[in-house]
């Protein structure tokens, strides 16, 4: 069983979409039973909230369900999860400052080496086009992440 935690800032836009897309792609390949997947944010100000409506919208348009509720990363996550997959370098830095073992942290876009993006931009303060870009980047990267387990 592989245990993966997707991390962004508030756990309402990027990381819940990464969690949902990863699970969706796992189900397509009949691999979901090999993984435990969750998402969390480095900040806790949205704890308990559902994913941002715009993330839900882009996911739904693509047949992906988002079911998680926002929560903040806790130190126990560093022991429980094998891999903490961050949306950007700020998330990586915050985990390191919390004493997360560096060998468990990865940047999601490292699984999409052909992309022009080295991180998933936070779409929260932008328009619909930012959420579309977020979806495309995360989708490409989660496919690469799944392939890395083959």
Is residue 54 annotated as a catalytic residue, yes or no?
A: no
Measure the CA dihedral 67/68/70/74, to 10°. 180
Q: Which of 13, 14, 38, 77 is catalytic?
A: 14
Q: Which of 8, 13, 86, 100 is catalytic?
A: 8
Is residue 71 annotated as a catalytic residue, yes or no?
A: no
Q: Which of 38, 52, 77, 122 is catalytic?
A: 122
Is residue 77 annotated as a catalytic residue, yes or no?
A: no
Residues labelled as active-site residues:
8, 14, 122
């Amino acid at each position: 069983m592989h245990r993966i935690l997707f991390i962004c800032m508030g756990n309402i836009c990027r990381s819940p979409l990464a969690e949902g897309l990863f699970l969706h792609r796992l189900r397509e390949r009949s691999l979901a039973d090999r993984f435990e997947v969750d998402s969390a944010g480095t900040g806790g100000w949205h704890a308990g909230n559902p994913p941002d409506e715009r993330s839900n919208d882009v996911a739904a348009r693509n047949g992906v369900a988002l079911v998680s509720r926002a929560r903040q990363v806790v130190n126990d996550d560093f022991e429980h999860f094998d891999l903490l997959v961050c949306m950007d370098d700020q998330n990586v830095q915050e985990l390191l400052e919390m004493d997360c073992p560096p060998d468990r942290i990865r940047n999601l876009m490292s699984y999409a080496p052909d992309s022009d993006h080295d991180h998933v931009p936070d779409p929260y303060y932008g328009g619909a086009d930012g959420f579309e870009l977020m979806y495309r980047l995360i989708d490409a990267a989660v496919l690469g992440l799944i392939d890395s387990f083959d």
